[in-house]
A and B are shown apart, each in its own frame.
Chain A
């Protein structure tokens, strides 16, 4: 049922998608000066159920359609084509990191943390094919992702250093005019950027920028910096759409039990033994 609702809205939005990309870039948005939802302190209110369209989770770079790993899944298991979200098209890997990415790609249906129901990390959480809920208080801001019940709290107070390395990092936020800027550090280096094996080390530093284009559309930009992996900082850009279906809400996708047979199956007692 959920899939049905989401795919039907996807179809509607997809039709206007190209037009949105062209017309809603920041300069155009400023001219349009749309009315944005606000908190009582005058900050934009980002509260809502958001989701990216497109295929960035398959591969954040430009990619053609391809067969999936399991012929049994037929067309529904195939990989859809997509235009990348990386500014300039290419990820500036260092040579050794590029080799690692290629290895990751080769073993992606086994080693992608998403296959195992591990936390997605940042920025991947923003463009997973699942919605996420923002709850914006007068202070801190909660991001609750449907996938794997991942969540993180954006500290809007005095910036705090990461106490320990984590999957989702430590998030310190502030407002740059009407843009929510989230500085994320303290990663453990285990998360990937997509199902194509793009990755970073535990030295990853992500600066996210969330800017409402209008009440129901938000620009998401992330600057990715990791001197151990990349030759220079680089950016991704995604548009996030608000779920406007009546009564739409974050549902539960606790995927551990969908991955257990994959992870532990070889250690389960075989029937008859």
Chain B
């Protein structure tokens, strides 16, 4: 689906904290899953998976929860209600969640402008993030109070001074009133990539990935920005450190029924471990990511990602959530760069702003 939404970054940074949707219990182990093996004897984690069920769970834990990692029954009910409301909104047509358009439509009919639904859509945003039928959302409420599960307070460890400086510089670049170049935008807005973590952390659409296995390899294919990772499981070492890339060099091995993937050789000072690969401080080239994929039921993999980057974070930290198989959910070709008219339009508008500013100075 080759369309781009430039308000994306701002929205996805704000919405998770506001929208209270969720996912299912992360660790209910069904005995049948341990029996799922490939014909060559590896645990079989293949299929189409989505992190949708964690959409809306705050990345970092809101402070009032302290070290409480799971919701109370009442909190869970509230989250379930929000999911219900989102579903109803989408099923009722749900297209018209742009306050601006809603007001125009109402004016045409001579009616009072309808209020935009609270939560996932609308809220102070003057343009539709995605049409209702594009939006993805949790199918069941997550009991988690945050995606970050370690440290125990669910909050990221403090940044190193070096990383804080990089974060400040990045924020300054992103917030320039009139962007001078495409480099003002994130690697995601530029359709380059969202990186390893950004490719699986849930956002408002395109949370799907496909896993394909063959003897000696596990391959992962992500819908958004058509990213792909080939993970050898034959015990080979990492590439020479002179070869670096956005998705890094992944090598994997099986620990019981868990696939453990270690990723190094990353390009530093570009992407962050956060929403869409841009939320947070740019990581260093020394970062090591350790992911664990454990199929705990036919339809659920427990996913865990540990971030180890002493140049950026003063301690390692871990996010964890389930990814699920859902009936009818499939991946489409996401020709992001090919359809990135947004970049052309934003830069074109910025140059007009330059002209206006220059004229104003005269």
Which residues of B are found within 8 Å of A136, using beta-carbon distances?
A: 214
Contact residue among B193, B230, B239, B354 (Cβ-Cβ distance under 8 Å from A133)? B230
| Interface residues on chain A, number (Cβ under 8 Å) | 49
| B230 and A250 within 8 A (CB) | yes
Chain B 206-257 interface residues, beta-carbon cutoff 8 Å to A: 210, 212-217, 219, 221, 225-228, 230, 232, 236, 239-240, 242-243, 245-247
- 1/0 per residue, CB under 8 A from A, across B160-171: the answer is 000000000000
Chain A 111-160 interface residues, beta-carbon cutoff 8 Å to B: 113, 116-119, 133, 135-142, 144, 148-153
7 additional contacts, CB 8 Å, given A139-B46, A166-B332? A47-B217, A118-B337, A144-B219, A164-B1, A249-B230, A256-B192, A269-B351
| B348 and A267 within 8 A (CB) | yes
Which residues of A are found within 8 Å of B72, using beta-carbon distances?
A: none
| B38 and A118 within 8 A (CB) | no
| A256 and B337 within 8 A (CB) | yes
| Interface residues on chain B, number (Cβ under 8 Å) | 49
How distant is B193 from chain A, measured CB to nearest CB, in Å?
Answer: 6
How distant is A141 from chain B, measured CB to nearest CB, in Å?
Answer: 8
| B351 and A149 within 8 A (CB) | no
> B-contacting residues of A (Cβ < 8 Å)?
1-2, 39-41, 45, 47, 113, 116-119, 133, 135-142, 144, 148-153, 163-164, 166-168, 190, 247, 249-252, 254, 256-257, 260, 263-264, 267-269, 273
Which residues of A are found within 8 Å of B40, using beta-carbon distances?
A: 40
Bound Cα distance from A135 to B214, whole angstroms:
6
| B46 and A252 within 8 A (CB) | no
How distant is B187 from chain A, measured CB to nearest CB, in Å?
Answer: 8
Bound Cα distance from A168 to B338, whole angstroms:
12
Known: A149-B228, A250-B230. A167 touches B338 (CB 8 A): yes
Which residues of B are found within 8 Å of A150, using beta-carbon distances?
A: 226
| A264 and B236 within 8 A (CB) | no
**Which one of B38, B46, B228, B230 has the greatest number of beta carbons of chain A within 10 Å?**
B228
Contact residue among B217, B225, B347 (Cβ-Cβ distance under 8 Å from A267)? B347
| B333 and A40 within 8 A (CB) | no
* Shortest 3 CB-CB contacts between residues of A and residues of B: A252-B245, A267-B347, A269-B180
| B245 and A268 within 8 A (CB) | no
> A-contacting residues of B (Cβ < 8 Å)?
1, 38-40, 46, 180-182, 190-193, 210, 212-217, 219, 221, 225-228, 230, 232, 236, 239-240, 242-243, 245-247, 331-333, 335, 337-338, 343-344, 347-348, 350-351, 354, 358
How distant is B225 from chain A, measured CB to nearest CB, in Å?
Answer: 8
Give the residue name and chain of the B residue nearest to A2 (CB).
B243
Known: A144-B219, A254-B193. A151 touches B39 (CB 8 A): no
How distant is B10 from chain A, measured CB to nearest CB, in Å?
Answer: 21
The prevalent SS among residues of A at the interface is loop
| B38 and A252 within 8 A (CB) | no
Which residues of A are found within 8 Å of B1, using beta-carbon distances?
A: 164
How distant is B318 from chain A, measured CB to nearest CB, in Å?
Answer: 26
Known: A136-B214, A247-B236, A254-B192. A260 touches B219 (CB 8 A): no
How distant is B185 from chain A, measured CB to nearest CB, in Å?
Answer: 10
| B219 and A167 within 8 A (CB) | no
20 contacts between A and B (CB under 8 A): A1-B242, A1-B243, A47-B214, A118-B337, A119-B333, A137-B38, A138-B38, A142-B212, A142-B221, A149-B193, A151-B221, A151-B226, A151-B228, A153-B212, A166-B332, A166-B333, A252-B245, A264-B182, A267-B350, A268-B347
Which residues of B are found within 8 Å of A249, using beta-carbon distances?
A: 230, 232, 239
Known: A167-B338, A269-B180. A144 touches B228 (CB 8 A): yes
Contact residue among A45, A47, A135, A190 (Cβ-Cβ distance under 8 Å from B338)? A190
| A45 and B343 within 8 A (CB) | no
Give the residue name and chain of the A residue nearest to B229 (CB).
A144
| A167 and B333 within 8 A (CB) | yes
| B332 and A163 within 8 A (CB) | yes
Which residues of B are found within 8 Å of A113, using beta-carbon distances?
A: 338
Which residues of A are found within 8 Å of B213, using beta-carbon distances?
A: 135, 137
Give the residue name and chain of the B residue nearest to A267 (CB).
B347
Bound Cα distance from A168 to B190, whole angstroms:
21
Contact residue among A133, A260, A273 (Cβ-Cβ distance under 8 Å from B190)? A260
